[in-house]
Amino acid sequence: MSSLLSDANQRLEKALRYVSLPQDVVERLKYPKASLTVSIPVRMDDGSLRVFQGYRVRYDDSRGPTKGGIRFHPNVTLDEVQSLAFWMTFKCAAVNIPYGGAKGGITLNPKELSKFELERLSRGYIDAIADFIGPDVDIPAPDVYTNAQIMGWMMDQYSIIRRQITPGVVTGKPIAMGGSLGRETATAMGAFYAIQTILPKLGRHPTGTSVAVQGFGNAGAVIAELLFNAGYRVVAVSDSQGGIYAEQGLDIPSIRQSKESTRGIKAVYCEGTVCNIIEHSVITNAELLELNVDILVPAALENQITADNAHRIQARYIFEVANGPIRSDADPILASKGILVFPDILVNAGGVTVSYFEWVQNRIGIYWSLEEVNQKLKGMMTQETERIWATAQELATDLRTAAYVHALNRLGEGIRARGTREDYLK
């Protein structure tokens, strides 16, 4: 078993102590259902040919067609994609979406490609995996360094192959191609609703609650601004190049505006009317993680907190907006420090929830307003956050284990409905 997937399974093994499931269920969930590795030849703008490695993994489909994003990143491996598909399986079950888990990716640095090259790559990827996906089989979505335009290219290519318009094959598309309002901000909105549901249970109020956000991309920038607007004191943010810190709090709208124009946040407080001048320190991503804050929001990549740095984490609460930002070997260290971790399979489930809404809208041909989408998202996130919190209290266990128990019970129902060993021995 791969190292990342093995690490992910550590959480599964712990949760299994709290549930009574047929052995068939456990065996089914230990391994992905299907994995595909493809080579994607792309004619570059200078006439040369490059071949890129791509992956798609369908982990489990006992509750419905599989669902998961596609990432473009230099570190994409089959190991990583399998682990992310595993997490997606439990994420969909945790928030009661009728999907299984999947994931995909291509190994490259997308910043090195022109837009024309990215389009050829995106369409070539769909050419290679077209028989592996479909609206009733496996539905891709955006992930790291992919966006609505890339999803539009992919949906269009699939439709060309099938000779019919098939909007339901991909979610996170442009609105004009059948995308859903609210999809681009859904991950952050879902996390915000989870935080707002939990905060009163911790005896806290937004005013006076300090926050640090690692990762200032699609999810991190939006959650930082949502928290800022709700009255939280956001004291630090960072991107891949580094970050900034100001104890009295940062002006997040100004940072977002400057980041969009300069593509960086290190020197974000500039002269003129766009930015406010404020005393701040330049910090690294590692330093941000170790700040003494109330809430830490890892919203970048996986494995940011490990056994190597967990003992230096000072935040009281961690809300995982990224996928797998904490390795399993860090869990007991954080627990011993009394740090409450709210897991990714709950906190960042807003993205897949609104992807599900988009898929539903594509299939029924009726599209909802932004207010309707956000209201439905708030209802689902609040309900499942309450249920997972209650499970943690009932079992006297941590929130991550409670979330996995909650998801396992639903996955068990789906697998058990098809028949298990116990049924055949009656």
Catalytic residue IDs = 103
DSSP labels for 375-398? HHHHHHHHHHHHHHHHHHHHHT--
Structure tokens at 231: 């009255």
CA distance 325 to 331: 11
Cα dihedral sign for 391, 394, 395, 396?
Answer: positive
Q: Please calculate the CA angle 208-211-213 and round it to the nearest 5 degrees.
A: 165
> E strands of 258-354, at which residues?
281-283, 295-298, 317-319, 340-342
Report the helix count and the strand count for the chain, using DSSP H and E. Answer: 15, 12
34: part of which helix (H) or strand (E)? strand 34-43
CA-closest candidate to residue 67, choices 165, 156, 170: 170
**Helices assigned H by DSSP within 235-369:** 252-262, 285-289, 331-336, 344-347, 350-364
Q: How many CB atoms lie within 10 A of CB 163?
A: 7
Residue in the structure block whose two tokens are 């009394």: 338
CA distance 183 to 374: 10
CA distance 57 to 54: 10
Give every CB contact of residue 304 below 8 A, 6+ residues apart in sequence.
Answer: 214, 285, 289, 298, 322, 325, 326
CA distance 124 to 263: 29
In eight-state DSSP terms, residue 180 is P
Q: Is 295 helix (H, G, I), strand (E, B) or coil?
A: strand
CA distance 121 to 169: 18
Residue in the structure block whose two tokens are 């003992």: 311
Residue 203 phi, psi dihedral angles, 5° rounding = 70, 30
